[in-house]
């Protein structure tokens, strides 16, 4: 991980960020009346699930589910539990930051609905339960943008995707087939399942050209057929190094066809515009400007690191250890006041020559946990519960000792538990 502290505050860096286009908020009121076989309501615990949003012109349509767990005392004197789901939807107007740049379809959105309040009225004589829920919905509309941002060693530190390089090229895809048709109505192409991999100095791209062909068949009825054409290519990006991140921005630039109704011969010619951007995640100290573009970023609050030693002794029916391949899996962490609690699994694949002379493979998982102190960048702004975290833990070393006479295998692993705590924030950065 690199920290972008530069001596010259006038230097700039090109970053890929989420620029804030607009914001909006609204309260949603839901009332429900139902009958429940109870003498007393103990508690109702609401949560919001299955939230989906879509950006339209100047607004965001939000829908989700209020999941409720109702705890009540039944006529039998015992406490019971009942779960129910209420679907809801709402339309939220989004006020643009810049009136000349309104919210449009296709932009990105971040929706944060919360249950602000839930009250209920219960009549034990009739079993009537009236629930009133208030949901607070905040939405933010952003657009992915490439910006030049000025660096300032005294400014706030953010995690950002620094643009290392980019490349593009055209790819020609030709396909010929026979189709029982008298006329081609339309062919709708799209790129799907696109995957990319960064190698030193280049990016390997592969995907599928998906086409939907609409045609009038020999029966004079309009038919539809779908087909997939796999493709792959390589784009030169001299600055790219293995391990960097890549973002694919490829598209179908054009598709034309020639059709002969006498033979049913359909020739399709597609031009793909392959475009990739290679970035590297960095921590950058950026300059602020009250008149600069407003971005949404992860501001670094603090970081912490600690070594974790794990030793294990076991017996194997082996005469030789060929190799042990370790990996970290299912690593999660939660931020508490001034610290982060990290837990995960040390996954190991042990390859050994057994007493039968054959190579065997054995898998084992060891759970681990560790508490890491988070050192804040600003003592007045310490890490606290609810903040975000990014885990960068890794296996520093693994050694083993094996006694073929007894089959005793001793494994010693050293983990480096590394955590960065951030907080989502809006910043107006200097755009030089």
Q: pTM (2 decimals)?
A: 0.73
Residue 431 confidence class, pLDDT cut points 50, 70, 90:
confident
Q: What percent of the chain has pLDDT over 70?
A: 98
pLDDT at position 263 is 94
Question: Is the pLDDT confidence value at 3 over 50?
Answer: no
Residue 125 DSSP class: T
Say what the alpha-carbon torsion angle 73, 79, 80, 84 is, to the nearest 10 degrees: 70
5 pLDDT band, cuts 50/70/90, is very low
Tokens for 40, please give them. 């007393």
Please identify which residue in the block is written with the tokens 């989700």. Answer: 64
What are 234-291's pLDDT values in tens digits?
A: 999 999 998 899 989 999 999 999 999 999 999 999 999 999 999 999 999 999 999 9
Element holding 15 (H helix, E strand): strand 12-35
The mean pLDDT value of the chain amounts to 92
Per-residue pLDDT, 327: 95
Is the predicted pLDDT of residue 8 greater than 50, yes or no? no
Locate the domains of the chain by residue range.
21-143, 164-278, 301-428
And the tokens for 383?
């890490």
User: Which 3 state secondary structure label does DSSP give 290?
Assistant: coil
Residue 9's pLDDT is: 42
pLDDT of residue 198: 92
Residue 2 has pLDDT above 70, yes or no: no
Residue, of 401 and 5, whose pLDDT is higher = 401
Q: Which two tokens stand for residue 238?
A: 């001299």
Tell which residue, 91, 86, 80, 92, has the closest CA to residue 133.
86
Q: What is the pLDDT of residues 351-397, one digit of tens each?
A: 999 999 999 999 999 999 999 999 999 999 999 998 999 888 999 99
Res. 6: pLDDT tops 50: no
The pLDDT value recorded for residue 11 is 81
pLDDT tens figures, 30-52: 999 999 999 999 999 999 999 99
* C-alpha–C-alpha distance, residues 184 and 179, integer Å: 10
Backbone angles phi, psi at 291, to 5 degrees: -105, 5
> Which has the closest alpha carbon to 49: 34, 35, 69, 78?
69
Distance CA 13, CA 21 (A): 22
- Tell me, what's the pLDDT at 200? 87
Arithmetic mean of pLDDT, 104-119: 93
Give the C-alpha separation, 40 to 186, whole Å: 64
């Amino acid at each position: 991980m690199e920290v972008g502290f530069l001596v010259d505050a006038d230097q700039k860096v090109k970053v890929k960020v989420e620029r804030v286009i607009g914001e909006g908020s609204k309260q949603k009121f839901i009332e429900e009346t139902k009958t429940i076989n109870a003498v007393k309501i103990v508690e109702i615990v609401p949560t919001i699930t299955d939230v989906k949003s879509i950006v339209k012109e100047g607004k965001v349509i939000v829908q989700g589910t209020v999941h409720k767990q109702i705890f009540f005392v039944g006529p039998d004197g015992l406490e019971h539990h009942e779960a129910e789901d209420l679907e809801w939807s709402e339309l939220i107007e989004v006020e643009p930051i810049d009136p000349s740049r309104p919210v449009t379809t296709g932009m990105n959105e971040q929706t944060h609905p919360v249950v602000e309040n839930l009250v209920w009225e219960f009549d034990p004589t009739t079993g009537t339960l009236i629930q009133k829920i208030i949901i607070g919905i905040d939405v933010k509309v952003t657009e992915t943008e490439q910006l030049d941002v000025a660096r300032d060693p005294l400014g706030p530190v953010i995690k950002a995707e620094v643009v290392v390089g980019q490349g593009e090229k055209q790819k020609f895809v030709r396909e010929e087939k026979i189709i029982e048709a008298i006329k081609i109505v339309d062919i709708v192409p799209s790129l799907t399942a696109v995957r990319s991999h960064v190698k030193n100095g280049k990016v390997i791209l592969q995907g599928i050209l998906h086409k939907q062909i609409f045609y009038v068949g020999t029966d004079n009825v309009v038919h539809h057929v779908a087909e997939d054409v796999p493709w792959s290519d390589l784009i030169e990006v001299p600055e790219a190094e293995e391990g960097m991140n890549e973002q694919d921005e490829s598209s179908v630039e054009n598709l034309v066809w020639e059709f002969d109704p006498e033979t049913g011969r359909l020739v399709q010619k597609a031009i793909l515009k392959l475009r990739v951007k290679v970035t590297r995640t960095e921590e950058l100290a950026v300059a602020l400007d009250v008149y600069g573009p407003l971005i949404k970023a992860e501001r670094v609050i603090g970081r912490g690191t600690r070594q974790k030693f794990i030793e294990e002794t076991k017996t194997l029916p082996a005469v030789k250890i060929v190799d042990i391949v370790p990996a970290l899996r299912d690593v999660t962490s939660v931020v508490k006041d001034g610290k982060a609690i990290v837990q995960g699994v040390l996954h190991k694949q042990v390859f050994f020559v057994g007493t039968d002379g054959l190579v065997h493979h054995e898998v084992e998982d060891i759970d681990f946990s560790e508490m890491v102190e988070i050192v804040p960048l600003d003592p007045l702004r310490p890490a606290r519960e609810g903040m975000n975290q990014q885990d960068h833990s890794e296996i520093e070393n693994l050694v083993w000792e094996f006694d073929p006479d007894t089959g005793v295998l001793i494994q010693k692993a050293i983990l480096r538990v590394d955590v960065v705590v951030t907080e989502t924030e809006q910043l107006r950065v200097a755009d030089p």
